[in-house]
């Protein structure tokens, strides 16, 4: 029999949950433990308390090994419950044990002691966002380009980092994902190392080992970004202006990490073509706007693939309420609403491939709030049901452009119209 001996634990659990800080809660549990000494019985009870609160992922063998290094001055109850001893126990248990008290003790036999212990155990509770689908945006590959803004060549890696940061921001704003950081891993590891130092409070170490893995990763290649200007003259007025010529090539994929399957593969391409009128030079403001447009387009595509926008209710005035708000939707956008029909099964693989989608009507967005969107019904084929999914009604979008003398705001409007 080892120093801990046999043990029998788990009597009952009564939880007193008090929220602490960022994600830490305290739970009070009562357990029993047995050992060949009073100290061994208490340690066994504490290991069981940690397992009850934090689950089987806490490896009991490692915990016992760590607790073996903590020795009391004596084997009496007073020595085993001093503040100094409890602090050493908390440190050895990596902060999971906050404090404890021995409720009762009894001798089962000459070499077996049983104790009842009430322990306060720290547990890390992930934030609300951790229940969402977890997604990580990895660095995109860059090639030979060209990458050019105005007359100046730029580094493809610099444009890629700028664009990827904006994509992450748009995905976070969608409130549909837990977006995992993969760019500042060095800084994150430095903070973890700081928490491991002896000066850190033991309960802070509970936060370690809670890193989330991704359900999906976004990968791709940023192949070309070229924005140049050409001078021209308005035929009617004879005034000079600049035309912006744009060429973009970007491809991306969403990969489900567990299976390696590609959930979505798409391209964002604006082929070289006739330049469009603009009153602003190809400065950093224009470049920044285009980067935002690209990031929003891809983020919307990703979000709508994994989380289709749905009709959740109708107001008394007959407006549809959608479960998506924020920058992904704009007032004046048109959406097609589809009622879900029968389940569809692939005849070859026998896999469920989705539901039949029955076009029910067209919606026009009238209000966009941070979490919801309101849209009026402008036409129907059938009654639009709550739960109907919505997709952009691209047939109603305009792509016309005309020559005009404009400010940068007009340039942005023209740019959007060109790309839709």
Q: Residues 415, 292: contact at Cβ < 8 Å?
A: no
Distances 334 to 63, 96, 379 between C-alpha atoms, Å? 59, 53, 11
pLDDT at 281 over 80: no
- pLDDT tier at 157, thresholds 50, 70, 90: confident
Distances 108 to 9, 115, 284, 319 between C-alpha atoms, Å? 14, 10, 79, 72
User: Global pTM?
Assistant: 0.57
pLDDT at 125 over 60: yes
pLDDT at 403 over 90: no
Q: How far apart are CA 169 and CA 299, in angstroms?
A: 9
31-43 tens-digit pLDDT: 999 999 999 999 9
Peptide bond into 100 cis (omega under 30): no
145-155 tens-digit pLDDT: 778 776 677 88
186-225 tens-digit pLDDT: 666 666 666 556 555 555 555 555 556 788 999 999 888 8
Q: Which superfamily is assigned to 129-307 in CATH?
A: ABC-type transport auxiliary lipoprotein component (3.40.50.10610)
Q: How far apart are CA 92 and CA 192, in angstroms?
A: 18
User: What is the per-residue pLDDT for 211?
Assistant: 57
In terms of Cα–Cα distance, which of 404, 396, 397 is closest to 420?
Answer: 397
Q: Residues 372, 322: contact at Cβ < 8 Å?
A: yes
User: What is the per-residue pLDDT for 10?
Assistant: 29
CATH 3.40.50.10610 in the chain, residues?
Answer: 129-307
CATH 3.30.1660.10 in the chain, residues?
Answer: 18-124
Q: Taken in order 349, 353, 358, 362, is the CA torsion positive or negative?
A: negative
∠ CA 316-361-395, nearest 5°, is: 130
pLDDT at 21 over 50: no
Pick the CATH number of 309-409 from 2.30.30.50, 3.30.160.100, 2.40.10.410, 2.60.40.10: 2.40.10.410
Q: Residues 246, 306: contact at Cβ < 8 Å?
A: no
Neighbours of 408 (CB within 10 A): 15
Q: Residues 222, 156: contact at Cβ < 8 Å?
A: yes
Q: Taken in order 266, 272, 276, 282, is the CA torsion positive or negative?
A: positive
Top-level class of domain 18-124 = alpha beta
User: What is the per-residue pLDDT for 189?
Assistant: 62
Distances 295 to 4, 219, 248, 255, 287 between C-alpha atoms, Å? 58, 13, 13, 18, 12
Q: How far apart are CA 309 and CA 175, in angstroms?
A: 12
pLDDT at 164 over 60: yes
Neighbours of 295 (CB within 10 A): 22
How many residues are there in the chain? Answer: 420
The continuous run of DSSP H or E covering 414 comes out as: helix 408-419
């Amino acid at each position: 029999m080892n120093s801990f001996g046999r043990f029998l634990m788990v009597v009952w659990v009564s939880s007193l949950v008090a929220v602490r800080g960022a994600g830490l809660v305290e739970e009070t549990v009562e357990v029993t433990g047995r050992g060949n000494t009073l100290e061994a019985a208490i340690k066994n009870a504490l290991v069981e308390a940690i397992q009850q609160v934090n689950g089987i992922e806490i490896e009991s063998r490692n915990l016992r090994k760590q607790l073996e290094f903590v020795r009391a001055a004596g084997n009496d109850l007073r020595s085993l419950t001093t503040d100094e001893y409890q602090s050493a126990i908390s440190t050895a248990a990596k902060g999971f044990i906050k404090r404890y008290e021995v409720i009762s003790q009894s001798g089962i036999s000459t070499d077996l002691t049983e104790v009842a212990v009430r322990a306060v155990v720290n547990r890390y509770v992930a934030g609300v966002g951790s229940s969402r689908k977890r997604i990580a945006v990895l660095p995109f590959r860059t090639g030979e380009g060209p990458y050019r803004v105005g007359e100046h060549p730029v580094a493809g890696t610099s444009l890629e980092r700028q664009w990827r940061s904006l994509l992450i921001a748009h995905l976070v704003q969608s409130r549909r994902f837990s977006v995992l950081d993969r760019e500042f891993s060095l800084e994150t590891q430095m903070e973890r190392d700081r928490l491991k130092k002896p000066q850190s409070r033991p309960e802070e170490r509970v936060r370690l080992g809670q890193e989330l893995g991704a359900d999906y990763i976004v990968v791709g290649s940023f192949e070309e970004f070229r924005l140049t200007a050409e001078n021209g003259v308005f035929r009617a007025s004879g005034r000079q202006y600049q035309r912006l010529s744009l060429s973009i090539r970007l491809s991306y994929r969403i990969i489900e990490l567990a299976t390696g399957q590609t959930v979505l593969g798409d391209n964002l391409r604006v082929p070289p073509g006739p330049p469009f009128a603009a009153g602003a030079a190809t400065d950093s403001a224009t470049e920044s706007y285009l980067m935002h447009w690209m990031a929003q387009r891809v983020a919307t595509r990703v979000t709508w693939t994994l989380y289709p926008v749905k009709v959740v209710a109708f107001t008394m005035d007959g407006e549809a309420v959608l479960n998506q708000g924020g920058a992904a939707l704009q007032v004046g956008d048109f959406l097609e609403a589809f009622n879900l029909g029968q389940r569809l099964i692939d005849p070859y693989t026998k896999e469920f491939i989705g539901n039949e989608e029955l076009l029910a009507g067209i919606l026009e967005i009238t209000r966009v709030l941070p979490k919801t969107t309101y849209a009026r019904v402008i036409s129907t084929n059938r009654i639009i049901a709550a739960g109907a999914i919505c997709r952009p009604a691209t047939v109603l979008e305009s792509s016309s452009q005309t020559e005009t003398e404009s400010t940068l705001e007009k340039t942005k409007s023209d740019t959007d119209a060109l790309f839709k």
